[in-house]
């Protein structure tokens, strides 16, 4: 029976299977088998022994229950796995774990696990980028009000808003690829990194093992692969989480009753509140913001794991059993959820238009100031005229257009048609559409 909410509520079965107990054990056994094969290839042990170890290194024979039983006696889970495998291998068992220390197996197996987990995240991100691409393309000309400091600023477009999100997710993808290159390494370097137990051909042995497993060997290590690699990976996952949090937070704000420009899909039988029947809460987006906080909390733990003492201590071990499965399961869940939200959001054109007009033209004061400069009015003078006009509009609740029309200096410089044109939000989106087209062109084949 599941106890942790991440396991039963905030994860996919696909990602759970990567970190499931039996899957982890199989990965450890895979490394032991690869080590035996490498020893045989170099002539250190009989090929028949390596074949037997490889044959028996599976969870159909080496049971999780047996490993736990031994662990309860000796209090060393990796050595418990070694003993359980040795029991299955008969005479070949004397070559199991030959020359290795626990973290030769553990760290290499972790890299193999994370390779699978990263592949799932990469697929999630690919799907999210496709969803954002479509939203960007569909809404590139939808003009809306831009907001800074929580206040109406100047017009922008939903296409540009979505394009910003798309580009950020692409940067997250790039960062993951870079971190993956440093994270997916294995080691056969022994107790303090000298490879003394592996003999004169130790470097060749290490490369042979890693070639077999399809990952790169470390150049140097202590008893462990250095934890800056692991910290970087956790930071990249958390940073990606904040990108999703940013999207979810914006969606939440745009769903406020008084804004109402966007709505999450709401099922026919869905309940928003146990007491307020009318509520249509953005709870899925709130989920994402909530889980992002957990991801960010793992960063400090990962950073604290980097300065291990001397050639290693065990202070990273217990928490890494938590932060890696949790981080990957949570981010996978968040990516899938935000993709579903974005794939079914509803934009409300009437509310978008209402909000554009809410300030009665004040959001066009910048545009009009620029046009005044073009007509020969000094920039600072134009700014002051527009500032006073805007404040008058604000305090008297009078449309900016009426105030400008009544200003003699403005009437001397502008026709009414020009004033109307310059106060139209549709005519003040700058290069937004061109920027969106550039993004779409760049992302088309991704």
Report, as residue numbers or ranges, the catalytic residues.
149, 273
Residue-by-residue DSSP string for 101-133: -HHHHHHHHHHHHHHHHHHHHHHHHHHHHHHHH
H helices of 274-426, where? 283-305, 317-344, 349-356, 365-374, 379-396, 400-405, 408-413, 416-422
Whole-number Å distance between alpha carbons of 20 and 216: 24
Residue 346 CA to its chain's centroid (Å): 24
Residues paired with residue 145 on neighbouring β-strands, in sequence order: 155
> Among all chains, which residue has been given the structure tokens 């199989």?
26
Work out the angle between the directed axes of helices 21-41 and 64-74 (0-180°, nearest 10): 80
Whole-number Å distance between alpha carbons of 103 and 193: 11
Question: Are the CB atoms for 443 and 132 separated by under 8 Å?
Answer: no
Residue-by-residue DSSP string for 393-433: HHHHT--HHHHHHT-HHHHHH--HHHHHHHT-GGG--TTHH
């Amino acid at each position: 029976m599941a106890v942790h909410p991440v396991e039963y509520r905030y994860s996919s079965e696909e990602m759970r299977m990567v970190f499931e107990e039996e899957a982890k054990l199989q990965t450890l056994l895979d490394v032991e088998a690869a080590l035996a094969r490498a020893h045989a290839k170099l002539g250190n042990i009989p090929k028949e022994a390596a074949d037997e170890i490889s044959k028996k290194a599976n969870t159909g024979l080496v049971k999780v229950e047996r490993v736990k039983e031994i662990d309860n006696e000796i209090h060393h889970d990796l050595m418990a796995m070694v003993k359980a495998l040795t029991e299955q291998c008969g005479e070949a068992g004397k070559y199991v774990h030959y020359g290795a220390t626990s973290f030769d197996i553990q760290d290499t197996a972790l890299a193999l696990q994370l390779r699978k987990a990263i592949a799932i995240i990469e697929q999630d991100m690919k799907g999210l980028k496709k969803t954002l691409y479509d939203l960007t393309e569909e809404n590139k000309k939808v003009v809306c009000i831009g907001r800074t400091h929580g206040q109406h600023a100047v017009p922008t477009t939903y296409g540009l808003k979505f394009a910003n999100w798309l580009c950020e997710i692409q940067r997250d993808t790039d960062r993951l690829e870079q971190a993956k290159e440093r994270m997916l390494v294995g080691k056969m370097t022994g107790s303090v990194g000298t490879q003394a137990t592996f003999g004169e051909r130790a470097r060749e042995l290490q490369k042979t093992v890693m070639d077999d497993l399809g990952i790169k060997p470390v150049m140097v290590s202590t008893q462990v692969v250095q934890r800056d690699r692991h910290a970087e990976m956790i930071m990249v996952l958390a940073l990606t989480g904040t990108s999703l949090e940013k999207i979810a937070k914006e969606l939440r704000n745009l769903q406020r009753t008084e804004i109402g420009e966007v709505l999450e899909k709401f099922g026919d039988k869905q309940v928003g509140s146990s007491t307020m029947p009318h509520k249509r809460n953005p709870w899925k987006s709130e989920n994402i913001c909530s889980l992002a906080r957990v991801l960010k909390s793992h960063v400090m733990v990962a950073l604290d794991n980097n300065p291990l003492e001397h050639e290693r201590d065990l202070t990273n071990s217990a928490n890494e059993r938590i932060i890696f499965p949790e981080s990957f399961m949570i981010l996978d869940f968040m990516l899938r959820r935000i993709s579903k939200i974005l794939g079914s959001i509803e934009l409300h054109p009437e509310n978008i238009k209402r909000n554009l007009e809410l300030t009665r033209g004040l959001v066009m004061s910048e545009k009009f100031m620029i046009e005044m400069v073009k007509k020969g009015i000094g920039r600072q003078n134009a700014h002051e005229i527009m500032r006073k006009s805007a404040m008058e509009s604000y305090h008297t609740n009078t449309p900016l257009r009426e105030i400008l029309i009544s200003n003699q200096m403005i009437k001397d410089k502008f026709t009414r048609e020009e004033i109307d044109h310059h106060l139209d939000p549709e005519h003040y989106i700058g290069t937004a559409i061109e920027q969106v087209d550039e993004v779409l062109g760049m992302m088309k084949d991704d």
